[in-house]
Amino acid sequence: MPIEGFDFQAFAASMAEQAKELVPKDLEDREKEYIVKTLGNFTLLAGEALYNDEQLNLTAEQAVFITQVIAEWSFHKSIDLIHSGILPEYWDSIMQKIAFTIFEVAKQAIIRKIPQDQLLQAVEHHVIKVYNSCIEELQKKGVIDEEVKARAESQSNIDAMAKQAQEEQMRQQQAAQSEVENKQKEAERRREERRNKRRQERHSQPVSAGITNKQMKLMTLALVLKILSQDKVTTILNKFDTDDSEAISQYMNMADLESRIDGDLITSCIKEMREYLPVKRKLTQENVMGDLLRIYRATPRERIEKIIKNERPFVKRFISQAYEGEYSGLPLKVAGIVAQYVEDSI
């Protein structure tokens, strides 16, 4: 019974049409025609044989798979023969042996229910074996010399196309990555332009409805303090002068404070204030030594020695060795306190 759903003639014609688009551009027209014609003929013959073989009992999918494998190897090995330098009158016999080998290996693999990846490996092994055997036979008969034999055996269009496809994929990935990076840079540039514009607007005119930039910051701070405990609020307010502290307290007592100022302006103001907030760094020897060296570069040594004149010996020794870029072994927490003390005392 013929294989239902397997139109071998249409499939062979489709494979031949696809081959026309894939043949190397550097070949002559007669060579391109040979590749397409050979692929089409072998695909058609194999498809017809499978279609009429009732003993195999293949599905349409299995028949298409075998026929496609023959088409692909016919394409690649015919290109290898053309590039090898072997005369055209020997091409057909080699290609027939290759096509027959693929047909038989694939059929046996299907019958034995071998997985497709193993089937493809077996086909590749036997194709290369038959191809090289044919080349050696031509060399033994004196049809080709050692140079042509070596060139023919080195041909592998299937590997060349795989490499080309991989390189093209890498180029596409690199191009896509570059495009993403460019878009990110452009987006960041636009965000920076908007930030700069907002800064200019805030500094050149009142922020909103007669509210100055300073008032906006105090109002924003008041919104933040409203969610803190009273102890923390008191601690923070004590750091402001009397006028600003009283203004913040008044804003905190406004029941409708949130509705009086624009939400975008609040967000912008918070971002601006964050730029000036100190960032807590991890306490490490490198950071402590870096802070001290920075202080040393900006402050005369005599002034620093005067600051630590009455300190305990281990503190003086730590400061002295730090000048030489050495860490004296002082406990890290204590070293951090000493460095902060020196900085605050300058």
The DSSP code sequence of 66-90 is: HHHHHHHHHHHHHHHHHHHT--GGG
Residue 59 amino acid letter: T
Distance, in Å, from the CA atom of 34 to the CA atom of 328, rounded to the nearest integer, reads 84
Non-local CB neighbours of 40 within 8 Å, separated by 6+ positions: 12, 13, 15, 16, 19
**Pick from 82-91, 108-117, 178-187, 277-286: least confident:** 277-286
pLDDT, tens digit (0-9, with 9 covering 90-100), for 65-80: 999 999 999 999 999 9
pLDDT (mean) for 165-173: 78
Distance, in Å, from the CA atom of 194 to the CA atom of 6, rounded to the nearest integer, reads 63
Distance, in Å, from the CA atom of 7 to the CA atom of 48, rounded to the nearest integer, reads 9
**In contact, 11 and 64? CB cutoff 8 Å:** yes
Does residue 261 have a pLDDT over 50?
Answer: yes
- What burial letters (b/e) apply to 312-346, b meaning 16+ CB within 10 Å? eeebeebbeebeeeeeeebeeeebbebbeebeeee
Q: How far is CA 169 from CA 25, 78, 173, in A?
A: 20, 26, 6
Percent of the chain, pLDDT > 70? 89
Distance, in Å, from the CA atom of 213 to the CA atom of 269, rounded to the nearest integer, reads 9
pLDDT of residue 205: 43
Q: Which ranges of the chain does DSSP label H, i.e. alpha helix?
A: 8-22, 29-52, 60-84, 91-111, 116-140, 146-154, 157-204, 213-225, 230-237, 242-252, 257-260, 263-274, 285-298, 301-307, 313-323, 332-345
pLDDT of residue 228: 79
pLDDT (mean) for 228-250: 83
pLDDT of residue 129: 92
- Residue 81: closest CA among 12, 142, 127, 19: 127
Local confidence band at 323 (pLDDT 50, 70, 90 cut-offs): confident
**In contact, 9 and 53? CB cutoff 8 Å:** no
pLDDT (mean) for 36-60: 89
**In contact, 95 and 38? CB cutoff 8 Å:** yes
- Which of 139-148, 159-168, 261-270 has the highest average model confidence (pLDDT)? 139-148
Percent of the chain, pLDDT > 90? 21
Does residue 139 have a pLDDT over 80?
Answer: yes
pLDDT of residue 44: 92
Does residue 207 have a pLDDT over 50?
Answer: no
pLDDT (mean) for 11-26: 90
pLDDT of residue 206: 41
Q: What is the DSSP letter of 211?
A: B
Q: Give the HSE-up count for residue 268: Cα atoms under 13 Å, Cβ half-sphere.
A: 21
Per the prediction, the chain carries an average pLDDT of 82
Distance, in Å, from the CA atom of 147 to the CA atom of 138, rounded to the nearest integer, reads 12
Local confidence band at 328 (pLDDT 50, 70, 90 cut-offs): confident
Residue 208 φ/ψ, nearest 5 degrees? -165, 130
Chain position carrying tokens 């003639």: 9
Distance, in Å, from the CA atom of 199 to the CA atom of 25, rounded to the nearest integer, reads 60
Q: What is the DSSP letter of 62?
A: H
pLDDT (mean) for 239-244: 82
Query: CA 129, 132, 138: angle at the middle one, nearest 5?
Result: 140
Local confidence band at 275 (pLDDT 50, 70, 90 cut-offs): low
Does residue 234 have a pLDDT over 80?
Answer: yes
pLDDT (mean) for 50-77: 89
**In contact, 10 and 27? CB cutoff 8 Å:** no
